[in-house]
Amino acid sequence: MAQDKLTQLKAMTTVVADTGDIDAIRRFQPTDATTNPSLILQAAQQEGRRARLAELARHSTDINDAVDAVAVEIGSEISELVPGYVSTEISARLSFDTEASIARAHSLIERYARHGVDRDRILIKVAATWEGIRAAERLEREGIHTNLTLLFGFTQAQACADAGVTLISPFVGRILDWHRAQAPDADFSGDNDPGVQSVQRIYEHYKGHGYKTIVMGASFRNCGEIEALAGCDRLTISPTLLAELADDRGALPRRLSAAVDAETSPPEPYDEGEFRWELNEDAMATEKLAEGIRKFMADQRRLETLLGELRR
C-alpha cells in the first residue's frame, strides 16, 4: 500500500505543527511545534484550561507577566510531546524595540528553565523588522536560538541570514493573499503561487551561499503549496492540512534539494538605511509585515483581556 503524503513529506522535510492544540500534536507526531499569539489565544480559550489560567493570572505581577506565563506553560506541555524545537513568540508590541525584545526573550528562557526545558529546545520568535533582526543577532551570540517570523520579502530573508539567526518563517499563504487581492483573476495555482516562489528563491539563495539559517515555510492556504515545497528544511503546517496530507496516498515528489554548490561570495550585509529602503520598495512585504504585527497584537490584546478577567 502506498504511503500517505504526510509520511512521504516527513522523509524529506522536518514537519512542524503550527498549533497550540495538544491533541493535534499527539495525533500527528511532528518533530517541532510553533505557536504565535493567535494560536496561544485559541489554546487559552479551551474550557479545560480555564482553572489553570486563572491560577497563573492571579499569581502574575501584571498582564505581561501573565501572558508570558501562559505561553511558557503551553510551550512546556508541547515540549514533552515533540523531540525538537518549540517556538514561543515575544509580544508583537515589542516589534520595534530591540532592547525590550532582548529582555523579554531572556525572561521567556528563564521561565522555560524553571519548567525544566533547556534553552536549546526553544526558538524565540521575533518579527523580522530591523529592530527584531538586531535583537535576534544578539540573542544568537548569547546562545539563544531565534525564529524570525512575519517574513514576506527577500530583503528580510537576506538580513536574517546576515544576522546568523537559527530559522526563518516565510509566510507563504499571506503572500498569496496579497497577490490575489491585487489580481483576483490571475492563475496562482502550483508553481505560479507567489508565496511558493518566494520560499523557493530564499531556499536556493541560502543553499547557494552556504547560509546555515533554516528555511521553514509557514502560513499555508492549501496542500498544493506544501507539496510544491517538499524537501524544504522545515514546513510548519496547521492540523487541518496535516490531516489532509495524512489522508492522501498520492505520490509526493521532492521539489527542493539542498544539493547546491555554494557560491564563494555572499552579498554584503545591509546597513539599516539599505534594509529600510529595500523593504519599502517591496509593497507586499511592507504591507503584510505591518498587517501581521497588528493582527498578532489584536489577538494578544484579547488574551490580555481574558487573563485580566481571570485575575479578578
Q: Where are the domains of the chain?
A: 5-311
Residue 94 reports pLDDT greater than 90? yes
Q: Report how far residue 85's alpha carbon sits from residue 145's, in angstroms, rounded to the nearest whole number.
A: 10
- What pLDDT, on a 0 to 100 scale, did the predictor assign at position 37? 85
- At 204, list the grid cell: 536556493
DSSP-derived 3-state class of residue 215: strand
Tens digits of residue pLDDT in 16-52: 999 988 999 999 999 999 988 888 888 888 888 888 8
Backbone torsions φ then ψ of 148, nearest 5 degrees: -90, 115
Whole-number pLDDT of residue 262: 62
pLDDT, one tens digit per residue, over 146-182 is: 999 999 999 999 999 999 999 999 999 999 999 999 9
Q: Which three cell numbers stand for residue 279?
A: 523593504
- Can you point out the beta strands (E) in 166-225? 167-170, 214-217
Which residues participate in catalysis according to the annotation?
125
The number of C-alpha atoms within 13 Å of 238 and in the hemisphere containing its C-beta is 15
- CATH class of the 5-311 domain in this structure: alpha beta
C-alpha cell at 171: 509566510
- 220-257 pLDDT, tens digit each: 999 999 999 999 999 999 999 999 999 999 999 999 99
